[in-house]
Amino acid sequence: MEEFSKTQRVNTKSEINFGLKKRGVGLIICGVLSFLLAGILNPIWGVLLIIVGALLFAIKNHYMFMATGCVLLLAGIMNLSSGITNGFWTAFGLLQIGWAIEEFILFGKHNRRLKEIAMGIPQGKTKG
pLDDT confidence band for 101 (50 / 70 / 90): very high
Say whether pLDDT at 114 is over 70: yes
Helix ranges restricted to H, 2-123:
2-36, 43-58, 63-80, 87-119
Question: What is the pLDDT at residue 71?
Answer: 92
Which has the closest alpha carbon to 16: 4, 6, 8?
8
The 10 Å Cβ neighbour count of residue 43 is: 13
Say whether pLDDT at 50 is over 90: yes
Question: What is the pLDDT at residue 63?
Answer: 95
- Spatial distance between the Cα atoms of 105 and 99, rounded to a whole number of angstroms: 10
Question: What is the pLDDT at residue 126?
Answer: 53
Q: Is there a contact between 67 and 24 (Cβ–Cβ < 8 Å)? A: no
Q: Is the dihedral of CA 66, 70, 71, 76 positive or negative?
A: positive
Q: Is there a contact between 53 and 25 (Cβ–Cβ < 8 Å)? A: yes
Question: What is the pLDDT at residue 81?
Answer: 84
- Please tell me what DSSP assigns to residue 81: T
Question: What is the pLDDT at residue 22?
Answer: 94
Q: Which pLDDT tens digit goes with each residue over 5-40?
A: 677 778 888 999 999 999 999 999 989 998 898 887
- Spatial distance between the Cα atoms of 43 and 36, rounded to a whole number of angstroms: 9
At 113, which amino acid appears? Answer: R
